[in-house]
Amino acid sequence: MPARLIESLATTEPLAELFSDRSVLQALLDFEAGLARVQARLGIIPAKAAKAIIAAAKPEGFDIGELSHGMLRGGTAGIPLSKALTEKVARVDKQAAAFVHWGATSQDVADTALILLLKRAKPILIKDVLEIEAALLKLSEKHKGTVMLGRTLMQAATPITFGLKAAGWLGAIRRNREHLEAAFEQALVVQFGGATGTCAALGHKGAQVMRALAKELGLGSPDAPWHTHRDRLAALVCACGILTGSLGKMARDISLLMQNEVAEAAEPGGDGRGGSSTMPHKRNPIGCAVTLAAAHRVPGEVASFLSAMVQEHERGVGGWQMEWPVVATVIQSTGLAAASMSEVARGLTVDKKRMSANIENTRGMIFAERASMLLKERLGRQEAHALMEEASKKSAAEKKTLSEVLAEIPEVTSAIERSIVRKIDVPKEYLGSAEEFRKALTAGNKARTKRKKFSR
């Protein structure tokens, strides 16, 4: 479903659908139906009652507005939901209605519903991130020899390769995706503990019901209920925040490379993407823009979640009640960033000629470090520094290349061979371990690709 207008720059259509009213209601009802099914199987409630509950646990016939109002009045989804479901079951079987929500508490249904939504969100997020990784791997391989300016503190610095830059993005995003997958694995556990986390209403069968319910819903079974222990969810929220930050870093770099004055790379346009309402010539970095918006938005939500972890005793007041909108915002923002950067990475164009031209425009000044290192070996630090300071000023004043200026300084040519001086500003001669580092960063994704092909 399309996102609401006010959320159109904060989510994707699949995630808007996932967190829609109907989807959330279905997750709540899935808990109630799963609980009834398991308890009937274990002989805790009559099979006939379970059948009636399961039949009624469908979104049709529920008043979303009434449920929403009831949640605000009751402080939880469980209270109005169990009431509405009980009434719906009672219209068919009054005796069965007594077994709705049997032995559960409101937080059990609310937490488990959230976990069920997160289970559905996981493949949506991971798919887009894997697409980013695959696209960056291709870019890195294709441009392993494409030399460009390195930039430090927003200023031109010694050269790197675009292959290394793409590999840097890839390495961070891959690490973050692996952490996110691990966080999902830990967080996707059922919540079932009854009033105070002992399942006392079910006698000695509480733990058995919890394990059976987890299996029924396709979730993990925790050691015990976790009503006021929100660490698993916190780890997931933090993992999303870190991933979104890395996607934002990639977006920041690309948006800067897209500036007209730089013009070294560009995200894909067309189909209404990147245009301006007043300036037809523009190609705006919209994929990067919405990703950066997400990267700005998520940290505050992460902080809100962490601050709410300090919950009271066995059931907290105000802490877990704030989580639904926060978690939904974090997941949708992360998903939007991943989907946007997947599109950007898959369609990114790289202008090798412009990269080369931007290096040439520095007139070799970015190789001052190289010249300085060579001179230090022969003349010492202070004299080398003084010579390079003189050469840099002369290069700027006379609009000459650094190599031309150095060739005119006797102290330099007596210390360094002229053949070396002439090639001092050749970019590919000063890349150090760039390719070794690039290969190391891409190695993990190459191995994964090979395993995937082999498994087929």
Residue 299, CB-side half-sphere exposure with 13 Å CA sphere: 8
List 41, 120, 211, 315, catalytic entry: 315
Is 448 marked active-site? Answer: no
List 276, 307, 414, 433, catalytic entry: 276
> d(Cα 359, Cα 355) in Å, to the nearest integer?
6
In three-state form (DSSP H/G/I as H, E/B as E, the rest C), the secondary structure along the chain is CCCCHHHCCCCCHHHHHHCCHHHHHHHHHHHHHHHHHHHHHCCCCCHHHHHHHHHHCCCCCCCHHHHHHHHHHHCCCHHHHHHHHHHHHHCCCHHHHCCCCCCCCHHHHHHHHHHHHHHHHHHHHHHHHHHHHHHHHHHHHHCCCCEEEEEECCEEEEEEEHHHHHHHHHHHHHHHHHHHHHHHHHHCECCCCCCCCCCHHHCCCHHHHHHHHHHHHCCECCCCCCCCCCHHHHHHHHHHHHHHHHHHHHHHHHHHHCCCCCCCEECCCECCECCCCCCCCCCCCHHHHHHHHHHHHHHHHHHHHHHCCCCCCCCCCCCHHHHHHHHHHHHHHHHHHHHHHHHHHHHCEECHHHHHHHHHCCCCHHHHHHHHHHHHHHHCHHHHHHHHHHHHHHHHHHCCCHHHHHHCCHHHHHHCCHHHHHCCCCHHHCCCCHHHHHHHHHHHHHHHHHHHHHHC
Is 381 marked active-site? Answer: no
Would you please indicate which residues are annotated as catalytic (active-site) residues? 276, 315
